[in-house]
Amino acid sequence: MDSGHSSDECGDDDIAVVNEEDIAEVIVCAENNIEDDEDEDDMDVHVHDDGAITDEIRDDSILCFKQHSDSVFTSRFSPSGQLVVSGGEDDLAYVWSVSDGSVLFKCDGHKDSVTCVSFNHDNSYVATADMSGLVKVWQLSTQSQIWSFDVSDIEWMMWHPLSNVLLVGTIEGDLWMWKIPGGDCKTFSSHGSKTTCARITPDGVKICVGYEDGSVRVWDLKNQTVIHKFSGRTGHSKEVTCVDTQLTDSSLFASGSADGTVNLCSYVTGKLLSTFTADKPQQQQQEEEGEGDNSVEAVAFCKVAPLLAFGSLNNRLYIYDIPSQTLRHTCHHDDGPVQVCWLPDSALLYTACLDGCVRMWDARNGQCQHIVSGHTDMILDMDVTGDGKLIVTSSRDSTARIFTINS
């Protein structure tokens, strides 16, 4: 690494610690009696020549990308919606066309599974990162690598939404931030816990970062200082798995955890507003110990209404009304939802699940409106185009698939 890169330590004076008396309210959501949708049928019955009957998975996708030779961990649309970048366990990333699946170029040279991919805000660069800590940036116009850097094992990566600045979080708990293509660097020092997830605030000034120790820290991106720290009674008891910020209110963020809770907080005041808890299935409570049964895997704010949704490995999606902080709907699944995406201009949202299906839900009535299938193994990631017309999913079945949205 370049020894000329700056690293700023943050002292105790910079940290606004949220105390127990700052907790406004704790809400535990009760079990909702919405029944499973008995019409959920993602199989077609096929009769063979010998009379045998088997279930075949119906493929609703309009395109199946098959260039990867192993699990596809992640995929993202370009801002234009015309390209996808996907990364996989085969140590490769591909940039390919949405229209026909043709490969624009292959992003090779990685040393481990490519787990993070993303286009920048103006469609000029695409970044890829692998588990070993190698980050690469590729220029779309020349289809060539223009920059790379090695850090420790990477947990997440994202572009700044307003500028060509790239950020990553590592297993050591450090945050790295570079200007691209120059490579000017700033670091945010670890407090000793692995960083697991992050989300930049809508104004582009702060970043909310989750950690393995259950804490969330709000950093000032310009000064690399901690503005607020949520830990102990205002944090989580297990690792933070997901974070999202609200676009319609310039002060709220939500963090989900492996402990089955979601905290609704203000990154402006540093207050914990509410805690929502995912139900723990009774059978798993009796038969299993440890995390996983009601772990919250995804949390997302609606873009047009004051609603918050989160998905849990207990096979449920929860939809909350933010002003009243009350549970609106509990939406039951056949298997755990691991990604939640709201459509950009409506109260409809999609969940990607471990059973290989994608389900569309109407937040107004909590009903499942549509199910699409095609994957033969669990879905690991999902993204929606900016216009809300297409979905791309990544799966352990070594494919990425594109589906049209039926709204």
Residue-wise pLDDT for 336-392, tens only, equals 999 999 999 999 999 999 999 999 999 999 999 999 999 999 999 999 999 999 999
Query: Could you give the count of Cα atoms lying within 13 Å of 108 in the half-sphere of its Cβ?
Result: 4
Which regions of the chain are under pLDDT 50? 1-18, 26-54, 284-286, 288-292
> What confidence tens digit (pLDDT) does each residue in 221-278 have?
999 999 999 999 999 999 999 999 998 777 999 999 999 999 999 999 999 999 999 9
Name the token pair of 189: 């020092």
Q: Backbone dihedral region of 171: left (phi > 0), alpha (psi from -120 to 50 degrees) or beta?
A: alpha
The CA distance from 59 to 64, in Å, is 9
The CA distance from 24 to 17, in Å, is 15
